[in-house]
Amino acid sequence: MKIAQLEEAIERHFAAGPAAKADPKAMEAFLALRAALERGEVRAASPDGQSPTGWRVNAWVKRGILLGFRLGALEEMPAPGLSFVDKRTFPARQFRAGDGVRVVPGGSSIRAGAYVARGAVCMPPMYINTGAYVDEGTMVDSHALVGSCAQIGKRAHLSAAAQIGGVLEPVNASPVVIEDDVLVGGNCGVYEGTIVRQRAVLAAGTILTRGTPVFDLVRGEVLRASGEAPLIIPQEAVVVPGSRAVTKGKGQEWGLSLYAAAIVKYRDEKTDLSATLEDWLR
């Protein structure tokens, strides 16, 4: 089925509501979409040079994933020594050596409908949700999460316990985007459609949301999400967690400060050396 035909079918069956459950063509369309997602032929969001953010949300793909939840009944999914119950339309993916994806033993799971490219490394335990896109050479480290529909570029490193937020609804909402060669430090959280541009570095513990102000100490700017525009971290920025003083009311009286993030520099040779050391693990 061509992509344009698949899109038309998904839109039609999604619009049918609960009645889609009785139409075998609906399941056929969903399974075709799920397979296309796993091959990387369609994405929940795609690079788009004409968009102000450089990315375009493909709402019909997200509607197709939601259709899969509507069509799927709960099913027991036994595993050696374990038992799971989930929608039968979203089982855990199985990989073979020929896929070129390294899934290290120890409790990791990649849900059906997620794309994981050749050369990716998945360290246990980690989880990649449906609709996510993980490109070539990326490492998803222990206890890291790639949420539904999140877009992860080439050669990124999601360090231990990093959380990349997902989004299915509203269907036109932008997912989190981590572009090529980004290093996301341990215990970072990137949520609510934030875009992290190429070669940026997020130091351990950095949290980025729509409400997080990012103080660029190098360029003298304050970066924020605005209206429909998400928070965007510039290319090669090095971001660290910080705080800002409360300047009025009880907060000032009590000497409180609120969380903020700060760009302390842009990548240099020292930063590049630290980032390349991890290549020996791949």
Q: Percentage of the chain with pLDDT > 70?
A: 96
Q: Where are the chain's structural domains?
A: 3-71, 99-275
The predicted-structure confidence for 2-52, as pLDDT tens digits, reads as follows 999 999 999 999 999 999 999 999 999 999 999 999 999 999 999 999 999
CB neighbours of 103 closer than 8 A, spacing ≥ 6?
95, 110, 122
pLDDT in tens, 75-101: 998 877 778 999 999 999 999 999 999
Q: For 99-275, CATH number?
A: 2.160.10.10
Q: How far apart are CA 4 and CA 14, in angstroms?
A: 15
What's the average model confidence in pLDDT over 125-133? 98
Q: What CATH class has 3-71?
A: mainly alpha
Omega before residue 91 within 30° of 0, cis:
no
Token pair recorded at residue 15? 């619009």
Percent of the chain's residues with pLDDT above 90:
89
Within 13 Å, how many C-alpha atoms sit on residue 34's CB side?
Answer: 24
